[in-house]
Amino acid sequence: MLRYILTRLALTIPMLLILLTVVFVILHVLPGDPCLAMLGGRNVGPEDITRCREQLGLNRPLIVQYLAYVGDIARLNFGTSIRTGLPIREELLLRFPATIELALSGMLLATLVGMLTGIYASVHHDQRVDHAIRVLNIVSFSMPVFWIGLMFLIIFAVQLRLLPVGGRLDPLAAVFFTPITNFYTIDSLLRGDVALFLNVLKHLILPAATLALVIGGFIGRMTRSSMLEVLDREYVRTARAKGLWERTVIKRHALTNALIPIVTVIGLQFALLMGGAILTETVYSWPGIARYLLESIDARDFTAIQGTVVFIALFISLVNLLVDILYARIDPRVRF
């Protein structure tokens, strides 16, 4: 197992270098001058631009800039934001818990609903309920996430007034709230404040449900396909012939062997949530990393864009590594 993990780590390093190189090249060929964006672009003289380029190191050869850029990333130094003047690492770490809290909530809900509906549809194959679930799954992951978010807001927040419009807390509660870990669900539990915990959950329901509706349909479709393939195997028929309960056959013999493609989909979808949550965080005014990236793009803050994209790429690589390790844990044959 240790050798397998070390091998996956060794394969991850070249992939990270390729990602860093692609981000570096793209941001250097994009139109626009970071110094003009930083200085405002009005009444800026050539000497001001020259001084700014010297401070940012943009006057150095590209290879020198690239080596300095890789060295900074290796030290987890993502630079300083042109827009705010604050270290990008601090701003990302401040917003990262919000994105992780949303992504985990949406993924847990999507996994629960997707796997349950997928298993149920595979067991009742070619029945009306199977066709209904398949149609619902196709519809769910075909709808744009921003449209789902807007519909949820109109129905549950505006018309029914059951849930808040956006944000992580009510304005009054946010005034008196001092975060500990910036994971609001954890912080409210650490304080033993049930009312605050329920307030956090109320704000989390709609954005998490929006993500879960899109991702859950895809997970359900993959679960159904994987389970149908396994249910036709000889060892499943043998287990049924022995007189085992159907629940035991499904849980111990079918689902366990069908998990590899399901885990693949869950891992990839969770990693993509880091970038795909931009629209969700924008619709619900959720102060996460994706919204920070959108604000940086709007302000042409090239340093913040570069740092955020690299941070997301590092996170996706870490998730892929964890998924590979989970493969080996589920199925020992993967290690060899």
Q: How many distinct structural domains can be found in the chain?
A: 2
Check pLDDT > 60 for residue 276: no
Place of tokens 């994009």: 30
Print the domain residue range for 248: 93-335
pTM passes above 0.75:
yes
Same-domain check for residues 187 and 232: yes
Check pLDDT > 90 for residue 193: no
Same-domain check for residues 61 and 162: no
Q: At which of 74, 106, 138 does a domain end?
A: 74
Same-domain check for residues 66 and 101: no
Check pLDDT > 90 for residue 37: no
Same-domain check for residues 98 and 238: yes
Check pLDDT > 80 for residue 1: no
pLDDT at res. 174: 83
Contact partners, residue 114, CB within 8 Å, separation at least 6: 137, 215, 216, 217, 218, 219, 220, 222, 223
Same-domain check for residues 118 and 9: no
Least confident of 146-160, 166-180, 270-284, 294-308: 270-284
Percentage of the chain with pLDDT > 90?
Answer: 13
Same-domain check for residues 269 and 178: yes
Instruction: Assess if residue 24 is contained within a domain.
Output: yes
Mean pLDDT rounded to a whole number for the chain: 83
Least confident of 25-29, 31-35, 111-115: 31-35
Q: Output the domain CATH number for residue 271.
A: 1.10.3720.10
The tokens for 244 are 């085992």
Q: At which of 30, 46, 74 does a domain end?
A: 74
Instruction: Assess if residue 261 is contained within a domain.
Output: yes
What count of other Cβ atoms lies within 10 Å of the Cβ of residue 188?
23
Place of tokens 């650490």: 190
pLDDT (tens digit, 9 = 90+) per residue, 42-54? Answer: 666 777 777 777 7
